[in-house]
Amino acid sequence: MKLKLTFLTICALVLSTSLTAQKYLNSDDVAVTKEYMGATMSSEKTLLENLQNAPALSTTAIIYSDLENIFGDHEMVTVFAPLNSSFNTMSEEELKTFLTNKAFLKRMVNYHMVPGRLDLHGIKKAIGQGGGTAYFATLSGEKLGARLVGDNVVLFDTENNTATLKASDFYHKSGFLHLVDGLVSPSEQQ
């Protein structure tokens, strides 16, 4: 009996030591990087640093750089960032007016953000579980819709404006980044 107890004690000690060692062996963070049109997005960079590094997102980078504390109290945020082509339908005057309305821009930016980490697989899974449509709560407090059109994930708002995911699953320091072509807007009622 004493031999059995000694054996179990030694096994428990060895097991707990090896588990503790594993915890510390894997503590180094590994940066996750992904390319988009020559720009490298990295999990070690902030959202703004990744946006500023990508020429295809220069307009969105300007918008985000003017807004302080865009995440609020949320540690992890999924961002649907509009590509420059999303703004091509606006005239120069419309774009200037759009960019100078800070209150609306903040609501617009928050409408393109979902709390937590939501990758493409998670979006498609939610669409499937929702019978073809998923709704995500945004930082603006409104729902952002998503559905599949062919193989593409398409976001939509209450006015049926759409934004198609063109590239997905980029990391930033505080979550995920998906690139969209098109603008979806929060409702006018706020």
Residues 143-177 pLDDT 10s: 999 999 999 999 999 999 999 999 999 999 889 99
Inter-axis angle of helices 92-100 and 102-111, nearest 10: 90
The reply to whether 164 falls in a domain is yes
Its domain, for residue 81, covers 30-181
The reply to whether 186 falls in a domain is no
pLDDT at 86: 94
The reply to whether 6 falls in a domain is no
pTM exceeding the 0.85 threshold for the entire prediction = no
The reply to whether 11 falls in a domain is no
The reply to whether 12 falls in a domain is no
Number of domains in the chain: 1
CATH number of the domain that residue 88 is part of: 2.30.180.10
End-to-end CA gap in the chain: 74
The reply to whether 146 falls in a domain is yes
For 60-100, the pLDDT digits (tens) are: 998 888 775 666 556 789 999 999 999 998 889 988 888 88
The reply to whether 20 falls in a domain is no
pLDDT at 22: 44
Q: Pick the residue with more confidence: 26 or 128?
A: 128
The reply to whether 7 falls in a domain is no
HEC letters along the chain: CHHHHHHHHHHHHHHHHHHHHHHHHCCCCCCCEEEECCEEEECCCCHHHHHHHCHHHHHHHHHHHCCCCCCCCCCCEEEEEECHHHHCCCCHHHHHHHHHCHHHHHHHHHHCEEECCCCHHHHHHHHHHCCCEEEEECCCCCEEEEEEECCEEEEECCCCCEEEEEEEEEEECCEEEEEEECCCCCCCCC
pLDDT at 95: 87
